[in-house]
Amino acid sequence: MKKIWRVAFFKNFYKLLINMDNLHRIIRSVLLILSFSILPLFSLFAKEISLKEFLALALKNNLELKAFQQAIKASELEKEAAKGAYFPRLKLEELLSHSDIPAQVFTFKLNQEEFSAKDFEIKKLNDPKSRTNFETRLTLELPIWLGGKIQAQVKQAEAHFRALKNLYERKEEEVLSQVYQAYLFAILSKESIKVSESSIREAEEHLRIAKARYQAGTALLSDVYRAEVYLNRAKESQEKAKNYYSLAKKNLELLVNTSLGDFEVEDLASIPQIEIERVKTLAFQNRKDLKALEEEIKTQREAYKVTLSENLPQISAFATYSLNDKNYPFGSSGSGYLLGLGLTWKFDTGLTTLKKAQAELQKSSSLEKKYLFLKNNILFEIEKAHTEYQNALYKFKSAESRIQASTEMLRIIQLRYQSGLARMLDLLDAQSELDQARLERLQALKDLHEAYMQILLAGGILKEAL
What's the pLDDT at 26? 46
What's the pLDDT at 350? 82
Apex CA 213: angle with CA 208 and CA 217, to 5°? 145
What's the pLDDT at 439? 93
Apex CA 211: angle with CA 208 and CA 213, to 5°? 110
pTM over 0.85: no
Apex CA 271: angle with CA 266 and CA 277, to 5°? 130
What's the pLDDT at 124? 75
The residue ranges of DSSP E strands in 262-354, in sequence order, are 263-265, 314-325, 334-344
Q: How far apart are CA 97 and CA 135, in angstroms?
A: 8
pLDDT (tens, 9 = 90+) of the chain, 466 residues, equals 444 444 444 445 445 444 544 544 544 444 444 444 443 444 445 789 999 999 999 999 999 999 999 999 999 999 999 999 889 999 999 999 999 898 888 888 888 888 887 777 787 777 888 889 999 999 999 999 988 999 999 999 999 999 999 999 999 999 999 999 999 999 999 999 999 999 999 999 999 999 999 998 888 999 999 999 999 999 999 999 999 999 999 999 999 999 999 999 998 767 888 889 999 988 999 999 999 999 999 999 999 999 999 889 999 999 999 999 988 898 888 888 999 999 988 888 888 888 999 999 999 999 999 999 999 999 999 999 999 999 999 999 999 999 999 999 999 999 998 988 889 999 999 999 999 999 999 999 999 999 999 999 999 999 988 7
**Strands 131-145 and 314-325: what pairing?**
antiparallel
Torsion, Cα 456 457 458 459, to 10 degrees, reads: 50
What 100-105 contacts at long range (C-beta under 8 Å, 24+ apart), as own/partner pairs, is: 100/128, 100/129, 100/130, 100/131, 102/126, 102/127, 102/128, 104/131, 105/129, 105/130, 105/131
**Strands 47-49 and 263-265: what pairing?**
parallel
What's the pLDDT at 19? 52
- Distances in whole angstroms, Cα of residue 148 to Cα of each of 143, 313, 348, 368: 11, 10, 18, 24
Query: Which of 295, 272, 274 lies closest to 448 in space, CA to CA?
Result: 272
**Strands 47-49 and 314-325: what pairing?**
unpaired
Q: How far apart are CA 354 and CA 356, in angstroms?
A: 5
Residue 332 amino acid letter = S
Q: How far apart are CA 457 and CA 176, in angstroms?
A: 9
- Distances in whole angstroms, Cα of residue 244 to Cα of each of 50, 191, 368: 19, 11, 44
What's the pLDDT at 14? 43
What's the pLDDT at 41? 42
What's the pLDDT at 12? 52
DSSP label at residue 38: H
